[in-house]
Amino acid sequence: MKRLSNCRMGMAVVGIVATTVFCGDQLAVADFVICDPRPADQAINSTGYKHLDGCSFLHDGLKLYFTSGRDPNTNARELWVAERESTDAPWGEPVNLGPNINTPETRGSPAISPDDLELYYTVWSWDRSTNLIMRSTRSSTDETWGPAAEFTGLGDALNLDLDFASDGLSVYFMSTRSGGYGRRDIWVSTRATTQDDWGEAVNLGPNVNDSDSQGQPSISNDGLALFFSNHTTHRILMCTRTTVDDDWGPAIDLGPAVNDQLQHSSYSEISPNGSTLYFSSGVLFRQVSIKPVVDFDDNGSVGMDDLLTMIDLWGTDSILCDIGPMPWGDGVVNEVDLEVLMDHWGEETPETPVFIVVDDFEDYNDDVDAGTTIWQTWWDGFGMPANGSWVGYEIAPFAEQRIVHSGYQSMPFYYDNSLALSSETTRLWGEPQDWTRRGVKRLTLWIHGQSDNDPEPLYVALRDSSGNYATVMKNDPAMMTVEEWQQLSFDLTAFTGVSADSITDMTFGVGDKSDPQPGGTGTIFVDDIELHLQ
């Protein structure tokens, strides 16, 4: 293969193993699980709906403002509101917000103020040459909405996707203003009272924003969780923080319960009690549940052992037992967490297959300067005559985006053993990784071959922090020619002498590592490297 990318020489990036745990189509993150994906109420997903562009909860959870096109004969997006009697009740019949709001221009991204007296939304032309934030007000909730006017209170830059904090004193939004990390970033502005102007916008920092475009923020009522969209990958992520004065922690992809590989997910909106996340997917509003993990010892039920664990951790910031008042906790184990535990006392928790993601290849992009390409993490044989491998493509997109096992990307792996005898790629971790968490026992990965590949065996090697190194072969050369996804499994105990609780690097290779011989060439695809219980 001709190699053109001089920028690959001498560049390194050190990654960390994902801290998320997937349970089937769920996602477990420390002390809560995102699960039970399903369409929102039929009242929201009415017959004839299309063109979904977000929703906004009133902060008591009893009203939902949303955008939907409900006339099958037009392309019109209009704003609607639905009400319900309690947070457990179904939504009532939606009401159109009327002619002061629903003019012929396209609109979306509604944001309602906490007092239900100010409505903000986006208007844009069909060719996207015009984007405006509009604002409508009313004196009381019994009145209709007044005529809307352009809102410029956040500055002259393009500002969209507003979402208010529960006290109305902070507003989160997407902006193209200078000083950010990417093309579009999420910012926050604050004010002293609801009668004051908004202050200078502050960027939410590199854990939220990166070189891609981020937007559609939804801030939780306690201000400790932020849900948002990546406009490049069309996936929804979240960040948390311990207090409202802390920086945001690393972003977490919400996994398969939210981010369906066949549909773009966007416009997330967290319910006021933190128990439900609404979002747009395809032509539906969907929802998932966010539930605290209260079975601390994974023994199948909530009982005395869990209570004793909480008592032992009382007053600490342990994420294991910090399960209230929102599912992601509030930074300390105390009475509110005990109340949540008691609400679930005696419940049976069905056993669910759990796996930890090592690398699903979704986080790599084409930004060489940021060091986030696939070949800047997975080191191949570029410039190394004894290694015949090549990871990624020569021109962007560097990752494979059509032949994927799940998600949106896989790793292309070219091998040439005609001269180099073996071809391998290695990923390094800056901090040793514990591959024994939650009792996992197996390392698995998926490969996809091609019919014109030359048959070759393959292997995986692991190294621990003490320098111990072991290789496990899969001596079935024909698998390289199979044009479908195949799962390979490696018992962690088979890596003799390697401590699975302190893994520093992983190598994937093609060829006979123990008896190198001249071989053939080909390209395979690798996806979804995971750790499993069974």
Mean pLDDT of the chain: 86
Q: Using the structure block, give the residue that is written with the tokens 């609400």.
A: 343
Residue 77 sits at φ, ψ, to 5 deg, of: -95, 130
Q: What mean pLDDT comes out for the span 209-228?
A: 94
Q: What is the pLDDT of residues 330-341, one digit of tens each?
A: 999 999 999 999
Q: What domains are there in the chain, each with its CATH number?
A: 6-14+355-532 (2.60.120.260), 31-292 (2.120.10.30), 304-348 (no CATH)
Q: How many degrees, rounded to 5, is the angle at CA 484 between CA 479 and CA 485? A: 85
More confident of the two residues 282 and 29: 282
Give the least confident one: 454-458, 476-480, 513-517.
Answer: 513-517
Q: What is the pLDDT of residues 385-403, one digit of tens each?
A: 899 999 999 999 999 989 9
pLDDT above 50: residue 278: yes
Q: What is the pLDDT of residues 240-256, one digit of tens each?
A: 998 999 999 989 888 87
More confident of the two residues 105 and 443: 443
Q: What is the pLDDT of residues 99-135, one digit of tens each?
A: 999 887 767 889 999 999 999 998 875 555 567 899 9
pTM of the model: 0.65
Give the least confident one: 93-107, 156-170, 464-478, 488-502.
Answer: 93-107
- Give pLDDT, residue 263: 64
- Give pLDDT, residue 354: 58
pLDDT above 70: residue 13: no
Report the distance separating Cα 42 and Cα 90, nearest Å.
9
Q: Where are the beta strands (DSSP E) in 202-273?
A: 202-203, 214-219, 225-230, 235-240, 252-253, 265-270
Q: Are 239 and 249 in contact (CB under 8 A)?
A: yes
User: What residues does 459 pair with on adjacent strands?
Assistant: 473, 509
Which H or E element spans position 306? helix 304-312
Q: What is the pLDDT of residues 486-501, one digit of tens each?
A: 999 999 999 999 999 9
**Among 337, 400, 67, 371, which Cα is nearest to 211's?**
371
- Give pLDDT, residue 137: 95
pLDDT above 80: residue 33: yes
- Give pLDDT, residue 30: 53
